[in-house]
Amino acid sequence: MVCAILLGSAPLKADEGMWLLPLLEKLNIKKMQEMGCKLSAEDIYSINNSSLKDAIVHFGGGCTAEIVSDKGLLFTNHHCGYGNIQALSTVEHDYLKDGYWAMSLKEELPAKGLSVTFIDKFVDVTERLNKAVAKAKNDEDYKKRWNKEVEKIKEEAVKADPTLQARVTSFYNDNMYLLITTRTFKDIRFVGAPPSSIGKFGADTDNWMWPRHTGDFSVFRIYADKNNNPAEYSEENVPYTPKQSLKISLKGVKENDFAMIIGFPGRTTRFMSSEEALETQKINNAISIYVRGEKQDIWMNDMLADPKVRIQYSSKYAGSSNGWKKWMGMNETFDKLNIVERRAAEEKAFNEWVAADPKRVEKYGTAVETINNTIKERAEYAYVYRYLSETLSAIELIKAPQRAQRGGTRQAFYKDYSASTDRKLAKRMIAIYKEKVDAKYHPAFFAEIDSKFGGSIDAFVDNLFDTSVYTSEEKYNEAAKAAVAAGKDLSSDPVEALRKDLHKVSGMIMPKLLESSAKINAAKKAYVAGTLEMMGDNASYPDANSTMRLTYSKVLPYSPKDAVIYDYITTLDGVMEKEDPNNWEFVVPAKLKELWKAKDFGEYALENGKMPVAFLCNGDITGGNSGSPVLNDKGELLGLAFDGNWEAMSGDVIFEPSLQRCINVDIRYVLFIIDKFGGAGYLLNEMNIVR
């Protein structure tokens, strides 16, 4: 049924959709070409020949990157490489603050733990899996047959090529399954990035906002063995030779130009129910916004006071604050755009369509009711879980035993750990949990706070941090050595007791949440299948799930409110207008100011002599698309997607054509910073630049 729906007519909205590449020929390419695309579907996605998809990788599992040379050079966002840049940084060599440019292959720095993954191909295995379980006698037999067939499919897929990995992934809420084969490279090296004053210009204030003036990019390189195959890091490895690399266009963008984006969007919920929307807004988002605001204030105060803490917590802070501000915007737009009410109206229309046919009633009749009622029933447990995960589980010392007992992980953990900062955090997080969560869900150590410390959370935390051996690597190593000599372990450490207490609380709520999720997932499968059937010939796309997708769009301005119009492009003039030497978010490097004053922009300038920084298109993106290539009608690189806009923060749930915009760093600004600012213009010699 789903396949028949997928092969219907062209989509209703050309600017909406995260489309599967194997279906472009049947669903999208005609409309794309009408909009100006000069490529065929085969040019974009081909199984037998090299195509654009071979130049695009899943970067670190959470972002996208693109290959820009035949020597494995790749571009992604600065915020995507941020954690790796931070891990390489020290107070003496602060690559976050100062930036870094390798001036030869020998100066490229190994990015430990970083990998990139190429897509080999997609294969529809829905019919095969359904056939395998058709004669299942019960749920247990169904699961056994299903898992056996999945393993068989995966084994067959990689049998002829040991460099491949395989997985079977669900689409349309378990209504369709695709086998995806991939190839992962683990020797990735940091080539360069601008200082954070360029790569993170505007920081929290400008995050999710337009106009934007952030040079959000970083540069890495893929290395392979001498046979061009994936390999662990080795000095013997050489730059990878890709099947395809992107041409880079200096032509730039004009209003109404065609632009498409290929990447790995993480997660959307376009089939979210009205009660799910309420739970998202009133429980998940509201709790996280409040708690993270408190946590980030503690971190930032210490980061501003100590350069070492700033490096240790920069990546943690950035990850936390990105979600924090997104959820604030989402809650605001949920209200402004009446998301809950619109979802309820869609459910009413669906139920009326179902009620008109007895066969539909049999298949889909209880789907919406089951989803919404189950969401309501689990509200108490969802509330407690969110507070537990955002407060007590956020205390880093509680995670220390797991990290410390692994050699390499231990070093990485303590390198980026400040016990004094975590001590302050622990006091505030425990206080919030005590205030906001019913006493029946309080861990056992709350009673100890009352009985042994006179109700003082601060005294309890001070004692915990003073007595635990896990507050530093030195203390742990000394204690572990002594424990081994005495034939003992460290299970009596007070942190271990806390871990057990939290596990007991988790045991009270997780079974309830897992049970509710199973009911919701089964009902959602029916709801989505029914929705697709109701849509008939109007083609649909599945929710994002970190698989490769394409969205096509136009370069467009927008009007966020009455009498306000935002242009589609920003320039370096705007950086200087925002400059504030007293605010770390808006400091402008002296060299950048000198280049601006001299108008030393070279071939990267606009026709009017200004230096472009960022531009807009109305592509349909979400988290995971960060770093995705924005391509012109010929498939040439125009820029890197890095953000969405504040006025459409409900975009993961409902796409708003008039408001939703994708914010992209202009490739000309990227090249200008590499060449003129960074002095690494030699890298451009590797690239195929279309002038």
For each successive 10 residues of the chain (691 residues), what is the average pLDDT?
Answer: 40 72 95 97 96 98 97 98 97 97 98 97 97 96 97 97 97 96 98 98 97 98 98 98 98 97 97 97 98 98 97 96 97 96 97 98 97 98 98 97 84 95 98 98 97 98 98 95 92 95 97 97 96 85 97 97 96 98 97 98 97 98 98 98 96 94 98 98 98 89
**691 & 590 share domain:** yes
Concerning whether 506 is annotated as a catalytic residue, the answer is no
**Does residue 225 sit in helix, strand or coil?**
coil
**489 & 589 share domain:** no
Residue 417 token pair: 């750990």
∠ CA 38-42-47 to the nearest 5 degrees?
A: 155
Indicate the DSSP class of residue 664.
Answer: E
**491 & 415 share domain:** yes
**174 & 210 share domain:** no
Residue among 253, 103, 255 nearest 668 (CA): 253
**138 within 8 A of 220, measured Cβ to Cβ:** no
Indicate the DSSP class of residue 652.
Answer: T
Residue 616 host element (H or E): strand 612-617
Q: In sequence order, which residues have a C-beta less than 8 Å from that of residue 98 and are 6 or more positions away?
A: 195
Determine, yes or no, domain membership for 70. Answer: yes
Determine, yes or no, domain membership for 149. Answer: yes
Distance CA 653, CA 589 (A): 39
**396 & 252 share domain:** no
∠ CA 378-379-380 to the nearest 5 degrees?
A: 95
Give the count of domains, the chain: 3
**490 & 411 share domain:** yes
**395 within 8 A of 429, measured Cβ to Cβ:** yes
| Residues in a beta bridge with 177 | 170
Distance CA 512, CA 385 (A): 11
Parallel/antiparallel/unpaired status of strands 187-193 and 637-644: unpaired
**436 & 516 share domain:** yes
∠ CA 203-204-210 to the nearest 5 degrees?
A: 80
**172 & 195 share domain:** no
Distance CA 633, CA 125 (A): 32
Distance CA 676, CA 691 (A): 17
**508 within 8 A of 331, measured Cβ to Cβ:** no
Q: Please report where in the chains the tokens 């505030």 appear, as a residue.
A: 428
State the CB neighbour count (10 A cutoff) for residue 382: 21
Distance CA 389, CA 381 (A): 12
**609 within 8 A of 668, measured Cβ to Cβ:** no
Indicate the DSSP class of residue 557.
Answer: -
Determine, yes or no, domain membership for 45. Answer: no
Of 216, 302, 543, 620, catalytic? 216
* Dihedral sign (CA 95, 99, 104, 105): positive
Of 626, 628, 643, 650, catalytic? 626
Distance CA 644, CA 145 (A): 42
The pLDDT of residue 10: 35
Q: At which of 502, 532, 562 does a domain end?
A: 532
**378 within 8 A of 513, measured Cβ to Cβ:** yes
DSSP string, 325-358: HHHHHHHHHHHHTTHHHHHHHHHHHHHHHHHT-H
Determine, yes or no, domain membership for 491. Answer: yes
Distance CA 548, CA 283 (A): 31
Concerning whether 213 is annotated as a catalytic residue, the answer is no
Residue 624 belongs to domain spanning: 13-20+56-107+189-266+553-691
Determine, yes or no, domain membership for 34. Answer: no
Packing angle of the helix pair 307-336, 286-305 (nearest 10 deg): 150
Rg (CA), the chain: 26
| Residues in a beta bridge with 176 | 171
- Check which CATH number belongs to the domain holding 577 and give it: 2.40.10.10
Q: At which of 470, 497, 532 does a domain end?
A: 532
Q: At which of 131, 156, 185 does a domain end?
A: 185
| Residues in a beta bridge with 76 | 218
Determine, yes or no, domain membership for 663. Answer: yes
Tell me the whole-structure pTM to 2 decimals. 0.94
Concerning whether 216 is annotated as a catalytic residue, the answer is yes
Determine, yes or no, domain membership for 365. Answer: yes
**262 & 363 share domain:** no
**347 & 492 share domain:** yes
Residue among 549, 554, 566 nearest 646 (CA): 566
State phi, psi for 188 to the nearest 5 degrees.
Answer: -120, 135
Distance CA 433, CA 272 (A): 29
The pLDDT of residue 538: 75
Residue 64 host element (H or E): strand 63-67
Q: Where are the alpha helices (DSSP H) in 456-613?
A: 457-467, 473-485, 494-535, 572-578, 590-597
Indicate the DSSP class of residue 9.
Answer: B
Determine, yes or no, domain membership for 517. Answer: yes
Q: What is each CA distance from 371 to 71, 272, 364, 368, in whole angstroms? A: 50, 10, 12, 5
Amino acid at 144: K
Of 58, 69, 78, 79, catalytic? 79
**394 & 470 share domain:** yes
The pLDDT of residue 15: 65
Residue among 641, 640, 642 nearest 674 (CA): 640
For 186-217, strand residue ranges (E) read 187-193
Residue among 567, 549, 653 nearest 338 (CA): 653
Q: In sequence order, which residues have a C-beta less than 8 Å from that of residue 336 and are 6 or more positions away?
A: none
Burial 647-680, CB ≥16 within 10 A → b, else e: bbbbbbbbbbeebbbbbbbbbbbbbbbbbbbbeb
State phi, psi for 140 to the nearest 5 degrees.
Answer: -65, -45
Packing angle of the helix pair 407-415, 473-485 (nearest 10 deg): 150
**164 & 204 share domain:** no
